[in-house]
């Protein structure tokens, strides 16, 4: 069997190290952090935001030194991961050859850590919104430990800070981890206000350029997506444009509603009924329902 394997390796190797479309991650080549490593650092961050809730047992209330050590460990891991990601961008020539990858990583991590208290406050508002918006919820801790919507939103709030600092690969891996765990697909570029509650959650899709206000509630199967994709003269998709809708404060969107388009705005206090297909804006206080005849 040795010869067939030798010939197979010879055939596979050139395609695996292709610069244009790499499928191999090696220390001499791409040298990105592994996907599992990126997910583990997310889990560590979430365990800091919800101490003693996501691990096996409670933490010691007075263990400030332990928390400090964990934060240092997370910061070191994140800095290493982002440095590698930035180095890959240099390799791709989307960063200049003399770009200081390590300094950029340190700036991004410092920004994220400075935002952790704000993220924690936002998540507390999300927990309260879930408790007040779901009659089946018996306690806030039930929401923290078991609600898929909170896991997806917590992951998003971390990933969004990284994404806003022009780091793309790491937050995308984080958001896809949450997607795989919850069935909720939130692009890390989306902007989401406080008190956000996704009830049930399976099948929810929120696109990159969505802007969602405060105290918004959505149900399973809701899509906040793009209506169409513009192409340039050569037929390539135009990226970086506003493609997804805006949802103002105090809006409720019921199950399986589909709202599309970068020019679409759902006005404050509106209610969008289940199974609605909407590609135009509605004013504040609107009631939009689909009734089968």
CATH of the domain at 66: 1.10.3130.10
Same domain assignment for residues 115 and 222: no
Q: Look at residue 3 in the predicted model and tell me its pLDDT.
A: 62
Residue 110 lies in a domain: yes
Which run of H or E residues covers position 77? helix 64-92
* Dist. CA 185–CA 179, nearest whole Å: 5
The answer on 171 and 243 residing in a single domain is: no
Residue 9 lies in a domain: no
The larger pLDDT score, comparing residue 251 to residue 15, is at 251
157 domain-assigned: yes
Q: Pick from 115, 149, 184: which residue ends a domain? A: 184
* Residues sharing a CB contact under 8 Å with residue 197, sequence separation 6 or more, in sequence order: 126, 129, 130, 133, 134, 149, 216, 217, 218
Are 103 and 225 found together in one domain?
no
217, 140, 152, 74 alpha-carbon torsion, rounded to 10°: 140
One domain for residues 87 and 149: yes
Tell me what the mean pLDDT of segment 275-289 comes to: 97
Tokens representing residue 218 in the block: 């959505």
Q: What is the CATH number of the domain that holds 278?
A: 2.160.10.10
Strand order in the sheet with 223-225: 185-186, 205-206, 223-225, 258-260, 277-278
Residues with Cβ < 8 Å from 58, sequence gap 6 or more?
52
Structural domain tally of the chain?
Answer: 2
Q: What is the CA radius of gyration of the chain?
A: 22
Please tell me whether the overall predicted TM-score, pTM, comes out greater than 0.75 for this model. Answer: yes
Q: How far apart are CA 14 and CA 17, in angstroms?
A: 6
Q: Is the pLDDT of residue 165 over 80?
A: yes
Let me know whether 271 and 141 are in one domain.
no
> Are residues 179 and 208 both part of a single domain?
no
- Domain co-membership, 38 together with 178: yes
- State the Cα–Cα distance between residues 245 and 172, nearest whole angstrom: 20
Contacts 24+ apart (CB under 8 A), 268-272: 268/213
Parent domain of 93: 20-184
Mean pLDDT score across all residues of the chain:
91
CB 168 within 8 A of CB 82: no
**φ, ψ for residue 85, nearest 5 deg:** -65, -45
- pLDDT, position 109: 97
Q: What is the DSSP letter of 231?
A: B
> What per-residue confidence (pLDDT) applies to 2?
58
Q: Does the residue 46 lie in any domain?
A: yes
Same domain (yes/no): 174, 227: no
Quote the pLDDT of residue 240. 79
> Are 219 and 148 part of one and the same domain?
no
Predicted local distance difference test score (pLDDT) of residue 13: 64
Confidence tier at 60 by pLDDT (50, 70, 90): confident
Q: Give the count of beta carbons closer than 10 Å to the beta carbon of residue 180.
A: 10
- Residues 34, 179, single domain; the answer is yes
Q: Both tokens of residue 63?
A: 């263990």
In a domain, 198, yes or no: no
Q: Does 122 have pLDDT greater than 70?
A: yes
Pure H helices in 135-188: 140-146, 148-164, 169-182
Work out the average pLDDT over 75-88: 96
Put residue 227 in one of left, alpha, beta given phi > 0 → left and psi -120 to 50 → alpha.
Answer: alpha
Residue 213 belongs to some domain of the structure: yes
One domain for residues 285 and 164: no
For 121, the 3-state DSSP assignment is: helix
Separation CA 214–CA 206 (nearest Å): 15
Q: Are residues 213 and 85 part of one domain?
A: no
Among 18-22, 33-37, 151-155, which stretch is predicted with the lowest mean pLDDT? 18-22
Question: Does a structural domain hold residue 1?
Answer: no
Asked, for residue 3, whether it belongs to a domain, the answer is no
With CA atoms as reference, report the closest residue to 216 among 232, 199, 241.
199
């Amino acid at each position: 069997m040795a010869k067939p394997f030798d010939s197979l390796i010879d055939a596979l190797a050139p395609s695996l190290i292709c610069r244009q479309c790499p499928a191999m991650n090696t220390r001499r080549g791409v040298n990105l952090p592994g996907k599992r490593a990126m997910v583990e650092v997310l889990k560590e961050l979430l365990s800091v935001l919800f101490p003693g809730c996501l691990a096996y047992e409670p933490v010691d209330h007075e263990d400030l030194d332990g928390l400090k050590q964990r934060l240092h460990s997370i910061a070191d891991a994140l800095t290493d991961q982002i440095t590698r990601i930035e180095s890959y961008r240099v390799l791709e020539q989307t960063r200049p050859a003399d770009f200081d990858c390590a300094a950029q990583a340190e700036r991004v991590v410092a920004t994220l850590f400075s935002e952790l208290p704000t993220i924690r406050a936002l998540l507390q508002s999300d927990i309260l919104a879930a408790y007040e918006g779901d009659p089946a919820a018996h306690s806030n801790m039930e929401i923290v430990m078991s609600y898929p919507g909170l896991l997806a939103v917590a992951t998003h709030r971390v990933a969004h800070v990284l994404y806003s600092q022009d780091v793309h690969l790491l937050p995308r891996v984080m958001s896809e981890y949450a997607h795989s765990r919850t069935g909720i697909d939130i692009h890390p570029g989306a902007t989401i206000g406080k008190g956000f509650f996704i009830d049930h959650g399976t099948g929810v899709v929120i696109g990159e350029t969505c802007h969602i206000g405060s105290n918004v509630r959505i149900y399973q199967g809701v899509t906040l997506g793009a209506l169409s994709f513009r192409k340039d003269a050569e037929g390539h998709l135009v990226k970086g444009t506003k493609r997804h809708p805006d949802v103002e404060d105090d809006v409720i969107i019921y199950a399986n509603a589909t709202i599309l388009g970068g020019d679409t705005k759902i006005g404050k206090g509106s209610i969008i009924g289940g199974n609605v297909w909407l590609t135009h804006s509605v004013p504040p206080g609107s009631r939009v329902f689909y009734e089968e005849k």
